[in-house]
Amino acid sequence: MGSVPIFRVADRAARVLAYLGMVMLCGAMLVVIVDIAARKSIGFSILGTIDLTQLGVMGCVFLSMPLAFLRGTHVGVEFVTDRLPAPLLRALKCAVGSLGAAFMLALAWYGLGQARIQLAQGDVSVTLGIPMILYWLPLLVGCFGSAAAGAIAALAALAPPEAG
């Protein structure tokens, strides 16, 4: 599967998104740590800690999902599927990838509609006034990316196993 050019390109893109998600989570953790340390030591609290933490967690979760879809690293019940004949297992992986892609595409489509509403209304976060579209962007990128990754994984499951 890794030798197929589209898979290599998708894997590289998904890794970049996952790294960006990790950076966002690290940023959120740093804000929380500094906020707690400052509050306990000098009595100062960082304004907007919740806004920034929510944005970092949203980014981490949704930007990491395409890599999990592409590599098939979601939680699974392998003791059932390990006993299946190879052709049936490939068909099952293709079906699961296709269903996952369809579900993520539906989530992305619904999310896009909601994001457009909040963008049109000019919604912002409560404390810092961060435009809500910035919270929607990681969700949309992650959902559309996961749909694409699921479709690629489904197609890759149909390929004959690599000699090795």
The 10s digit of each residue's pLDDT in 80-118 is 777 888 889 889 889 999 999 999 999 999 999 999 999
Structural domain count of the chain: 1
**Residue 53 pLDDT exceeds 90:** yes
Contact 157, 94 (CB under 8 A): yes
pTM exceeds 0.75, yes or no: yes
| Residue 77 within any structural domain of the chain | yes
The predicted structure's pLDDT at residue 102:
97
| Residue 164 within any structural domain of the chain | no
Q: What is the pLDDT of residues 25-34, one digit of tens each?
A: 999 999 999 9
| Residue 92 within any structural domain of the chain | yes
What's the maximum distance between 2 C-alpha atoms anywhere in the chain?
64
| Residue 101 within any structural domain of the chain | yes
**Residue 3 pLDDT exceeds 70:** no
The predicted structure's pLDDT at residue 72:
82
Residue carrying the six token digits 């994001």: 115
Cα 45 from Cα 40, distance rounded (Å): 9
| Residue 108 within any structural domain of the chain | yes
| Residue 36 within any structural domain of the chain | yes
| Residue 163 within any structural domain of the chain | no
**Residue 19 pLDDT exceeds 80:** yes
Residues 138-144 have a mean pLDDT of: 97
Tokens for 86? 């190879």
Residues 29-58 have a mean pLDDT of: 94
| Structural domain containing residue 78 | 5-158
Smallest CA-to-CA distance from 71 within 129, 13, 150 is with 150
